Amino acid sequence: MKYIKHFLIGFTGLLLILILFLYIFNYDYLLKAVRTIYFTGHTTAYLEDFKKFDNMNIASGSSQPWPLHRKYNTVKPSDALLGVHEKFGSIAYVVIKNDSVLYEAYYDGFGKTSKSNSFSMAKSYVSGLLGKAIMQRHIKSLDQSVGDFILEYSHGTAAKMTVGDLASMASGLNWDESYYSPFSVTTRAYFDDDLASVMRKRGMQGEPGTGFEYLSGNTELLAMVIEKATGKKITEYLSESFWKPLGSETDALWQVDSEKHQLVKAYCCIASNARDFARLGKLYKDYGRWNGKQVLDSAFVAKSITPRFNGEPYGYGFWLKKYNGKDLFMMRGHLGQFVMVIPKDNLIVVRLGHTQGKRGEDGFPKELDVYLDEAYRMANEK
């Protein structure tokens, strides 16, 4: 019995020393990581982790349900599609043809209105809000300096960094885009209680505007700029700019760093559903028009879904690729969250899930072709 007592005393002592070490060296955010992620059996952020964090509401308004296609759910999924869903843990697969839901299926206890984490699909919304802020003249243009809004980035190399550089992933920001290292700034950003403080201290590591480098910190800084320019919380601005006008059927949530500071994790973490995520895809497919109203400037949309740098698969907030020779743009998030849009064929395909496969030579998971092949098969079957 005394050995157990000595062990417990020793273990408690070591634990206290470890906690003290984390605070002394400014790694105390890891305590939150352990509590919210690692103690739940996960090694990274997961689809329903928003329940473990503070959130702010994104209010919906008068809902505009998607029309159902005349062939709604009449075409059966192939064994190949079902196999991919099972292998990678899909929770939602929705095909929207000619702005009508042709097919939808949900798995693992999720349904039409179930919330799950958007992860980096949120970056597309933030980029869209930049376009809205420019349209409303809160921000002059894509060329306006970030330093006009955030003092810490108004000197030296940082003074050259524009809001357009942030949206197109060309900032030169000092950032480590590592999702699995507990010591990366990306991990810190996910768990730190004062995200604005983290962002103001990042500094620069490259020349702005010279090339593409995907960094989540860019979108976080962009959200801070938008809040400063508009004088509104970005959740409020998203609600009034897109969530309500596009007829979203449910309120959404956006994770924040803490109840005290309430800065959204802008690079990720909108909790919503496949049907409502698809609405931004439709807005961009239609060059900013919704029900006859120009919600977002068409020129901004066109620029957003065109590569800024030749040979790079990114525009302003959207990923770009080819599918069978056709242009495709997409919202894309960690673990395989996708809203894929092929404007030429008026097709939107949404896939949400727990994991994704290995990337092919083009940098995208190979199973995307299965999701798209199946969507075309369903659309074309008599």
Domain for residue 88, yes or no? Answer: yes
Q: How far apart are CA 89 and CA 65, in angstroms?
A: 26
**Binned average pLDDT, 10 residues per bin, the chain of 382 residues:** 51 46 56 69 86 97 97 97 98 98 98 98 98 98 98 97 98 92 88 95 96 98 98 98 98 97 97 98 98 98 98 97 97 98 98 96 95 97 78
CA–CA separation, 237 and 334 (whole Å): 24
User: Does 275 lie in the same domain as 334?
Assistant: yes
Task: Look at residue 242 and tell me if it is in a domain.
Answer: yes
**Nearest alpha-carbon partner for 187 in 296, 304, 38, 317:** 38
Confidence at residue 344, expressed as pLDDT on a 0 to 100 scale: 98
Residue 181: φ, ψ to 5°: -80, 125
State how far the Cα of 370 lies from the Cα of 29, in Å rounded to an integer: 39
Distance of CA 27 to the CA centre of its chain: 25
- ∠ CA 154-157-161, nearest 5°, is 65
Same domain for 296 and 246: yes
Residues 332 and 246 grouped into a single domain: yes
Whether residue 84 sits in one domain with residue 20: no
* Same domain, residue pair 60 and 133: yes
> Is 42 a domain residue?
no
- Of residues 337, 316, 308, the one with CA closest to residue 129: 316
194 is a domain residue: yes
Is 41 domain-assigned? no
Residues whose CB falls within 8 Å of the CB of residue 293, separated by 6 or more in sequence, listed in order: 245
In a domain, 43, yes or no: no
- Closest by CA position to 223, among listed 273, 163, 271: 163
- Does 18 lie in the same domain as 85? no
Tokens 């083009």, residue located:
362
User: Which tens digit of pLDDT belongs to each residue from 158-193?
Assistant: 999 999 999 999 999 999 998 878 878 999 999 999
In a domain, 76, yes or no: yes
The answer to whether 225 touches 146, Cβ cutoff 8 Å, is yes
Number of domains in the chain: 2
Cα 66 from Cα 58, distance rounded (Å)? 20
Q: Please tell me the predicted confidence (pLDDT) of residue 381.
A: 85
The predicted pLDDT at position 27 comes to: 58
The CA–CA distances, whole Å, from 202 to 92, 175, 308 equal 37, 7, 24
Do residues 110 and 325 touch, judged by C-beta distance below 8 A?
no
Continuous segment of H or E residues that includes residue 23:
helix 2-24
End-to-end CA distance of the chain: 75
For residue 114, tell me if it sits in a domain: yes
Which amino acid belongs to residue 341?
Answer: V
Query: 87 and 24, same structural domain?
Result: no
Pair 331, 218 in one domain: yes
Tokens of 241: 């700019």
CATH of the domain at 243: 3.40.710.10
Supply the range of the domain harboring residue 61.
49-380
What is the Cα–Cα distance from 30 to 37, expressed in whole angstroms? 10
Q: How does pLDDT run across 42-100, given as a tens digit for each residue?
A: 778 899 999 999 999 999 999 999 999 999 999 999 999 999 999 999 999 999 999 99
Residues 17 and 161 in one domain: no
Same domain, 7 and 103: no
102 and 224 share a domain?
Answer: yes
Burial of 377 (0-12, 13-18, 19+ CB in 10 A): middle
pLDDT at residue number 28:
60
How many other C-beta atoms lie within 10 A of the C-beta of residue 295?
19
- 25 and 88 co-located in one domain: no
